[in-house]
Structure 1
């Protein structure tokens, strides 16, 4: 990107084109005065990879999800009118008032919004190079198709949803989930929900091993024999770590101030989602240190507060605080099943018909494409 000479507009830069970044950049593009403010969105790929669709996408080519017409959502319609600039690059480092990109180019900012998301392990460790994504998916499809048994180490949303996708395509193959806790998922959710989720999976022929912590998990997905902490030996043609994200994508933020991040790499924020000591820098989405589950719905809630607070900040108005709502989760079990939980009252649980209607069938792809200005 080359800046125009004599462009004295203030720059508002959003780093990251995931759920939070998209839901900040698009509304800002309609609310900012383009004669006074220049809005820039930076992302390594020219499209957003829809996380809820990735597990079905990597298992097989069903629904043709690995294209820019479905779950790889391009940014070409992200801004209202021409009120924004998309820059395809990564951010190498942050300094006061400037960013250094992976290409070496520097971009200045007056307001910075960090929404760089999380890094994931195989099978959803998508490469940053857009040209490599197609080959990554082809290798993944081949890997899953060639295995006759699967061991998924981790019984949270990733493990449970992947198990359901595998059974949709290959109902005769053996699928086992090994989970280190007494029930699936974690203590955020009620025991009743956690037991019901297991029942739904067992009815599909999925084996569930609880209180089994796997030792020495192979560094790469593939055929392996592993040992659990209790001494149980487990073998499968394909052993996968399905415990969730590996780390937040925040290493580049250390260059501004090492005290910004927690020891786990999450961004410390004030209730306004501003960084401590840096009122012109905001953070949103999965990288934020906040006591809540990391989910797209939370990223959307962050985005609303950040969008509103950025507008208030530039207009000299008081800012609003973010507060978590109740916990909720929609867990697919293939295209036609699943289970949902809403942490209201005594904990509301809904089964396959409801979950399929909301998520399992479409994986929210139409909704997310609409967020990016597409239909």
Structure 2
């Protein structure tokens, strides 16, 4: 029997684990090895990370870090802990190798890139496993000691982090500096954006609109000045909560036409890379006109899995990604938040719905269940 070929998935976020789990049930294990490469031996729930880094009482390190040993159906798959540094393709564009930080080369017949995105500051969870809890504990201490936290960015991350800080440290002053005229962005209705503004301000959270912080001050300094010259004198912890940066530096090794100017992977509607039919991408790294959310990865995974199976069967990839509805649930601590549902003309739901669906539990049980726990 000829050697089995490798189907390699890089990244164990929502996209990567969903794709790996589905492929493990559908690939012929007599023909293919399924290999999931991740920087850690576990997956972590990024939607839980704002509470994780603020609250020691949450003990989220016990529930939001989930081992990958139960991910694969019928044991058809393996996890390789490592960090991919480059991709080397064959001349026929039908496979290649990924090169790990350790120097190891892993050949692939099909490669799926799902490396997600990285935030700055407390949500910049380290890649190396041994560094994760020191990072978390250091940030918990910083939040406990801060008197005035300034969050540079009023998107979902800034809003949710503000709510967690107020839950855990109600006497800490919190200021959000937002470049737009409202929270979030114009993808969402004024009803949602205004409702979140009201809820945050009712907790004593200050919001400065149409202001920017261009440079995050060095740790230990006090005070920060906005672009317009406004001085926030008492700020002793300033954090960037702007949008994340895609983890795609190593993908640039495929050539200059692979990434756009912001570092997102250029893909066809089949989620194949433009010039690499045996390489797919999914999740937060793809160039697609939609908000980056974990919920979107289900749609990505369905397209990738069907097309991977087609390509392995010497057929053309024909399933196309059509986009996903812009649903959002934004927490405001454990007991509040708001949701926007785009159906029936679009409508918002308030604290009771956010609390029921996300704020109390952060949907950890669903995350764990998807990983076999």
Output the CA distance in 1 between the equivalents of 2:220 and 2:240. 10
Which 5+ residue runs of structure 2 have no aligned equivalent? 90-95
Corresponding residue for 2:226?
Answer: 228
* Map 1:1-375 → 2, pairs under 5 A: 8-67=3-62, 70-96=63-89, 97-218=96-217, 220=218, 222-235=220-233, 236-245=235-244, 247-315=245-313, 316=315, 318-374=317-373
Output the CA distance in 2 between the equivalents of 1:104 and 1:343. 47
Three-state SS of the structure 1 residue aligned to 2:355 is helix
- After TM superposition, give the deviation of residue 84 of structure 1 in Å: 0.6
In structure 2, the CA distance between the partners of 1:166 and 1:7, relative to structure 1 (3 Å rule), is farther
**Per-residue deviation, residues 38-74 of structure 1 (Å, max 9, x unmatched):** 100000111112110000000021221013xx00111
Contact 2:159–2:332 (8 Å) recurs in 1: yes
Contact 2:122–2:136 (8 Å) recurs in 1: no
**Per-residue deviation, residues 166-199 of structure 1 (Å, max 9, x unmatched):** 1111212211111011001111111121111100
Output the CA distance in 2 between the equivalents of 1:280 and 1:126. 30
Output the CA distance in 2 between the equivalents of 1:207 and 1:223. 21
Output the CA distance in 1 between the equivalents of 2:219 and 2:368. 31
Output the CA distance in 1 between the equivalents of 2:288 and 2:40. 27
Contact 1:215–1:226 (8 Å) recurs in 2: no
Contact 1:248–1:286 (8 Å) recurs in 2: yes
In structure 2, the CA distance between the partners of 1:33 and 1:151, relative to structure 1 (3 Å rule), is same
Tell me the TM-score normalized by structure 2. Answer: 0.95
Corresponding residue for 1:3?
Answer: none
- After TM superposition, give the deviation of residue 339 of structure 1 in Å: 0.5
Output the CA distance in 1 between the equivalents of 2:347 and 2:324. 15
In structure 2, the CA distance between the partners of 1:185 and 1:40, relative to structure 1 (3 Å rule), is same
Output the CA distance in 2 between the equivalents of 1:32 and 1:53. 32
More deviation, 10-19/255-264: 255-264
Alignment: residue pair count: 365
Which 5+ residue runs of structure 1 have no aligned equivalent? 1-5
In structure 2, the CA distance between the partners of 1:141 and 1:314, relative to structure 1 (3 Å rule), is same
What is the alpha-carbon root mean square deviation over aligned residues?
Answer: 1.4
- After TM superposition, give the deviation of residue 223 of structure 1 in Å: 4.1
- After TM superposition, give the deviation of residue 7 of structure 1 in Å: 6.2
Contact 1:313–1:319 (8 Å) recurs in 2: no
